[in-house]
Amino acid sequence: MLQMAVIYLAAALVAVPVAKRLGLGSVLGYLLAGILIGPFLLGLVGDQKDVMHFAEFGVVMMLFLVGLELQPSRLWKLRHAIIGLGGLQVVLTTAIIFAVCLFVFSLKWQTALALGLMLALSSTAIVLQTLAEKGWIKLTAGQNSFSVLLFQDIAVIPILALLPLLAFVDTTGSISDSHNLIEHYPTYIQVLISVGVIASIILAGKYIASPLFLYIAATRLRELFTIFALFLVIVIAVIMQNIGLSPALGTFLAGVVLADSEFRHELEVDIEPFKGLLLGLFFITVGASIDFPLLSEQFTTVIGLVLGLIAIKAAVLYLLANIFKMKDKQKLLFTLALAQGGEFAFVLLSLTSSLQILTPEQTKLITLVVAISMLMAPLLLIVYEKLLNRDSEQEKQFDKPEEIEAAKNVIIAGYGRFGQIVGRLLTAQGYHLSILDHSPSQIELLRRFGNKVFYGDAARQDLLEASGAKEAELLVIAIDDADKILEIATMTKKHYPNLKLVARAIDRRHSYELMNLGVDAFKRETFDSALSLGVETLKLLGNNTEASERAGKLFAQHDEDSLKILADIWGDDLSYGVAVKQRVEDLKQVLLNDKADQEKLNQCKGGDCAEKA
C-alpha cells in the first residue's frame, strides 16, 4: 500500500503541474497521471478496487464542504432548480437511454432500465472541482449544475433500492456481503430506519456537534479540531453506508446543518487539504481504470457509445436550459459541464454485476465508456473556455445577491468591545460583515445576542480567504494582541494587496509598525477616549467648553503630525529621544500660544481692546 501511495504521489507531481501549465486544469492532470501508471500502460499499479473505496472518501468530503456553503435558507431558494431541473434531467435522460438500449440494442428491459438510471448521473467530483477552479461555480450555469448534481446524489438512494427488484436471480444471498445492516428487515422498516438516521444526523449536527466544537475550540488545540471534523465525516459516511444509503448524501446533510454554525470557516479550511488529496487519488484511480486492451479491441464501439452518451445527455441538458430560460453562454456551459458519466455509476455497476443484471462483458464495456466520458468532461470545458467563451461576461452573469455581498463585504477580525463598535456602525450603514473571533467564550456570548460570529484565527490565510478576502473591500483588525495584528497585516498585504486594511493600534510603538506596513488607517485603542476625558477634565477645572474642545483638537492634530514625523526616525534611540522632547516642547508652546490668543480675543469681545486703543 505504501509503495502504491508513493507511485500515486510521484505521478501526480509530474502530471498535474504540466497539465496546469498547459491550461488543462488539475482534474485532467490527475486523470492523465492515472492513465500513465495504470495496469494497461506502465503497469505500475494493479487492482484499483481497494484504492477506489478509499478514494471515494474524497467525494464524501467534497460534498460535506459543499453542504457547509449552503445555509438551509439558500438551499430552500434552490428547491425549484433542484427538484424541477434536476428531476427532469434524471427522468428524461433515463427514459431516452432506456429506449435506445431496449429498441436499438435489443437489451432486456431490466438491463436497459438499470443502464438508463446509472448513465443519467454525472460526475459530482469532476464538475464541481472544475467549475470551482475556473471560477464558474457562482454563475447561473454553475448554480444550476450544482442543483442537478445534488438531485442526482439524492436519486442514488431510490436507485439503490430499485436495482435489486430488477435482478434476474434471487438476491437474498447475492449481496449478503454488502455490509447493509438493515437489508433483512421488511421494506417499510428499512424506510423508517433510513428516515430516522437522516433525522438523527440533522438533529445531532444542530444540537450536539456545535456544542462539542465549542468545547474542543476552548482547548486551543487545532489538531483536535481537525481530528474531530474528520471523525464526524467518517462516522456519518460509515453509518450511511451500513444502512444502504449514500455516504455522500449523509455528509452533505451534516454540512448543511453546520452551515449556520460559527465554526463553518474553520471546518472548511481544516478538511480542504484532505478533500483535495483524496479527490486527486480518486481521479487518478479513474484514469487507471481505463481498459486500453478492450478499447483497442472495440475502439469503434466504445467511442461510438461515449459520443452517443454525451450527445444524449447534452441534448437533454440543452433542452432544459432553454425551458429554464438560461442565457446563451450559460446554456452551453451548463450543457457541457454535465454531459458525462459519473462516479456513482461505478458503485451501481458493482451492484448490477452482483445482481447479474449486466453480464461481466457489459460491465467492463460500460465501465470503460463511463471512464472515458469522465476523461472528456474537463476537455469539453476547456473547449468552452478557449473557443466559445472568449468574450465572457462572467461578472455580469453573477446572481444579484452575490454581487451585493461582494460589493459591501467587510471582514472584522476580533469582535470584542473594540470590534463591536466598528461592526455596529457598519451594520447600521447597511454593510455585510464577515466576523472572525478566536475566543469560544466570546462567540458563545455574542450568539446569545443574535450576532453571527465565526470561530477562527484570522492570521491563517486559508481561513481569511474562506471568509471572503478575495472579494472583500476592507479588513478591520480589531483584536487586542499587538503581535497578532502585525502578523495579520503582513500576511494580508502580501496575499491581498487590493484589500484595504484598518487596524487597532495598541500603543505608539505599535502605530509606527503599522505605518511601516502601509496600513490604510489605524486608531490607538486608548488615545481618543483618554483625550475626551482630558477635555472633560479641562471643563471641570473651570475652562469654558469652547476653549477645552479647541485644546483637545489642537492636541490631537499635533500628535497625529508627530506620529508621521517621528515614524521616520523610530528605531534610532538618540535621534528619536531628542525629537520627542522637541515635539513635547512644541506642543506645550502651541497650546500656550493658543490660550493667550483666545484670552486676547475674549478681551476684545468684551470691549477691552477698544478701551486700550
For position 100, what pLDDT does the model report? Answer: 94
pLDDT single digits (tens) 188-221? 787 788 888 888 888 887 788 878 887 887 777 7
What 3-state class would DSSP assign to 280? helix
> Is residue 570 included in any domain, yes or no?
yes
Alpha-helical (H) ranges within 289-416 are 292-297, 299-323, 328-338, 344-354, 360-383, 394-397, 400-407
The CA–CA distances, whole Å, from 463 to 135, 265, 305 equal: 19, 6, 45
Residues present in the chain in total: 613
Look at the pTM and tell me if it is higher than 0.85.
no
- Other Cβ atoms closer than 10 A to 519: 22
Residue 452 shares a structural domain with residue 382: no
The CA–CA distances, whole Å, from 119 to 15, 64, 307, 461 equal: 29, 24, 13, 40
The strand pairing partners of 537, in sequence order, are none
For position 446, what pLDDT does the model report? Answer: 67
For position 452, what pLDDT does the model report? Answer: 64
Q: What is the largest CA-CA distance in the chain?
A: 123
Residue 254 shares a structural domain with residue 199: yes
Residue 177 shares a structural domain with residue 256: yes
Residue 450 shares a structural domain with residue 411: yes
Type and span of the H or E element at 475: strand 474-477
What 3-state class would DSSP assign to 455? strand
Residue 420 shares a structural domain with residue 556: no
CB 456 within 8 A of CB 436: yes
CB 118 within 8 A of CB 349: yes
- Other Cβ atoms closer than 10 A to 151: 19
% of the chain beyond a pLDDT of 90: 12
Question: Does the pLDDT at position 602 exceed 70?
Answer: no
pLDDT single digits (tens) 484-526? 888 888 888 888 888 889 998 888 888 888 888 888 888 888 8
CB 248 within 8 A of CB 153: yes
Residue 383 shares a structural domain with residue 285: yes
> Is residue 577 included in any domain, yes or no?
yes
The strand pairing partners of 436, in sequence order, are 413, 454
The mean pLDDT value for 11-39 works out to 72
For position 407, what pLDDT does the model report? Answer: 29
Residue 145 shares a structural domain with residue 182: yes
> Is residue 29 included in any domain, yes or no?
no
Residue 306 shares a structural domain with residue 349: yes
> Is residue 7 included in any domain, yes or no?
no
> What is the domain extent for residue 417?
400-525
Provide the pLDDT confidence category of residue 269 given band limits of 50, 70 and 90.
confident
pLDDT single digits (tens) 538-582? 888 888 888 888 888 888 888 888 777 777 776 665 666 666 677
More confident residue, 259 or 179: 259
What 3-state class would DSSP assign to 358? coil
Residue 202 shares a structural domain with residue 247: yes
The 521-524 sheet, strands edge to edge:
454-455, 432-437, 409-413, 474-477, 500-505, 521-524
pLDDT single digits (tens) 424-449? 888 777 787 888 887 776 776 666 66
For position 301, what pLDDT does the model report? Answer: 93
Phi-psi region of 25 (alpha: psi -120 to 50; beta: other; left: phi over 0): left
Question: Does the pLDDT at position 306 exceed 90?
Answer: yes
> Is residue 12 included in any domain, yes or no?
no
What is the pLDDT of the chain when averaged over all its residues? 78
For position 174, what pLDDT does the model report? Answer: 42
Type and span of the H or E element at 523: strand 521-524
> Is residue 611 included in any domain, yes or no?
yes
Residue 346 shares a structural domain with residue 462: no
Alpha carbon dihedral 232, 234, 238, 244, in 10-degree steps, equals 90
What 3-state class would DSSP assign to 403? helix
Question: Does the pLDDT at position 138 exceed 50?
Answer: yes
Provide the pLDDT confidence category of residue 417 given band limits of 50, 70 and 90.
confident
More confident residue, 206 or 239: 239
For position 53, what pLDDT does the model report? Answer: 59
Domain count, the chain: 3
| CA–CA distance, 310 with 350 (Å, rounded to integer) | 22
CA atoms within 13 A on the CB side of 35: 17
Question: How do strand 409-413 and strand 474-477 relate by DSSP bridges?
Answer: parallel
CB 294 within 8 A of CB 302: yes
Of 502, 525, 548, which residue constitutes the final position of a domain?
A: 525
- Other Cβ atoms closer than 10 A to 180: 17
> Is residue 517 included in any domain, yes or no?
yes
- Residue 216: all three cell numbers together: 474542543
DSSP secondary structure code for residue 473 in this structure: S
| CA–CA distance, 62 with 210 (Å, rounded to integer) | 20
Provide the pLDDT confidence category of residue 227 given band limits of 50, 70 and 90.
confident
Q: Which of 103-112, 145-154, 529-538, 563-572 has the lowest mean pLDDT?
A: 563-572
Of 390, 419, 434, which residue constitutes the final position of a domain?
A: 390
Residue 515 shares a structural domain with residue 544: no
CB 340 within 8 A of CB 128: no
The CA–CA distances, whole Å, from 407 to 123, 432, 469, 470, 474 equal: 33, 9, 12, 11, 10
Question: Does the pLDDT at position 23 exceed 80?
Answer: no
The residues, ordered by sequence, that sit 6+ positions from 604 with a Cβ below 8 Å of its Cβ are 610
Q: Cα Rg for the chain, rounded, in angstroms?
A: 32
CB 358 within 8 A of CB 114: yes
Phi, psi torsion values for 97, nearest 5 degrees: -65, -40
Write the CATH number for 469.
3.40.50.720
More confident residue, 179 or 315: 315
CA atoms within 13 A on the CB side of 129: 28
The CA–CA distances, whole Å, from 327 to 314, 318, 396 equal: 16, 11, 12
- Residue 158: all three cell numbers together: 431510490
DSSP secondary structure code for residue 84 in this structure: I
Question: Does the pLDDT at position 89 exceed 90?
Answer: yes
Q: Which of 25-29, 240-244, 298-302 has the lowest mean pLDDT?
A: 25-29
Of 478, 494, 525, which residue constitutes the final position of a domain?
A: 525
> Is residue 2 included in any domain, yes or no?
no
Residue 146 shares a structural domain with residue 166: yes
